[in-house]
């Protein structure tokens, strides 16, 4: 267990305030990861680094991921999802406030039986959203390619949700065509989580 009483000024996380850095350092001894930011490529690389570290420390003890996001980039989401499925220890996911769009997929992707949410948490599912008009430089002839790519990416994420909730892909696509807000009880029925804390 982390024993020192103070925290040197040099040790601060890149995205978390200095004030609470020590809390997270101590919690890391208990194999805890907090996702309380938007899901970006920086978050994805920090997440996969922490998971790899915990797997190296012990291949059998559970890992705990606390989720409180608005969602984010779908490429980062797929990165985090793949790493979650790759590591050997069981991953407990807990929604502590909100798990919207990409966050809901991460919540559902925990080990079956070990996915939970707080009593007053909120979960929202929807399909991949894109900016229109597209920001990247895409010429007219290629824009079809871009939309087809996003469509296939969406299909992949819908398939992920279907695997973890147990519902078939058509139902998921239909439900996620609009923002679908779930209370924790409805989320258990839908198959996103398993119990309420």
Partner 1 sequence: MNTLVLEQTDRGDVVFDVYQKLAHERVLFINDYIDSRLAADICATLMLKNFEDPSLKISLLINADGADVRSVFTIYDTMMIVDAPLETICVGAAMEEVVLILAAGTKGMRYATKNSVICPSQLLHDASYQTDLTDAKSLLDNVKYDNKQFITALSKCVGKNYSTVMKDLERKKFMNANQAQKYGIVDFVMEGKKDV
Catalytic residues: 101, 126
Q: How many CB atoms lie within 10 A of CB 189?
A: 10
Task: For residue 100, give the nearest of 66, 80, 125 by alpha carbon.
Answer: 125
CB 84 within 8 A of CB 50: no
- Report phi then psi at 180, rounded to 5: -115, 110
Write down the least CB distance from residue 129 to partner 1, Å.
12
Q: Closer to partner 1 by CB, 55 or 175: give it.
A: 175
Tell me the pairing of strands 63-69 and 115-117: unpaired
Cα 138 to its chain centre, rounded Å, is: 29
Question: Angle at CA 78, nearest 5°, toward 54 and 143?
Answer: 155
| Residue ranges in contact with partner 1 by CB under 8 A | 4-9, 16-24, 26-27, 30, 32, 34, 36-37, 66, 68-70, 96-98, 118-122, 178-181, 183, 197
Min dist CB 86 to partner 1, Å, is: 25
Q: In the bound complex, what is the minimum distance in angstroms from residue 142's beta carbon to partner 1?
A: 29
Q: Which residues contact 159 (CB under 8 A, 6 or more apart)?
A: 169
As measured in angstroms, the least distance from the Cβ of 163 to partner 1 is 25
Q: Is the CB of residue 154 less than 8 Å from the CB of residue 180? A: no
Judged by beta carbon, residue 148 or residue 177, the one nearer partner 1 is 177
Beta carbon nearer to partner 1, 7 or 130: 7
């Amino acid at each position: 267990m982390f024993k020192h009483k103070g925290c040197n000024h040099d040790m601060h996380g890149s995205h978390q305030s200095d004030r609470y850095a020590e809390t997270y350092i101590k919690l890391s001894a208990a194999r805890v990861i907090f996702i309380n930011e938007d899901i970006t490529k920086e978050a994805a690389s920090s997440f996969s680094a922490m998971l790899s570290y915990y797997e190296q420390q012990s291949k059998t003890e559970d890992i705990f991921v606390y989720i409180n996001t608005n969602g984010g980039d779908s490429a980062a989401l797929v990165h985090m999802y793949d790493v979650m499925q790759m590591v050997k220890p069981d991953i407990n996911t807990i929604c502590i406030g909100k798990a919207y769009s990409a966050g809901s997929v991460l919540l559902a992707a925990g080990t079956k039986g070990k996915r939970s949410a707080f009593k007053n948490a909120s979960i929202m599912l929807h399909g991949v959203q894109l900016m229109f008009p597209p920001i990247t430089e895409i010429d007219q002839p290629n824009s079809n390619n871009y939309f087809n790519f996003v469509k296939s990416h969406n299909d992949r994420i819908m398939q992920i949700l279907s695997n973890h909730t147990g519902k078939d892909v058509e139902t998921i696509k239909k439900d996620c065509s609009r923002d679908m807000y779930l209370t924790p009880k409805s989320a258990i029925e839908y198959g996103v989580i398993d119990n309420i804390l």
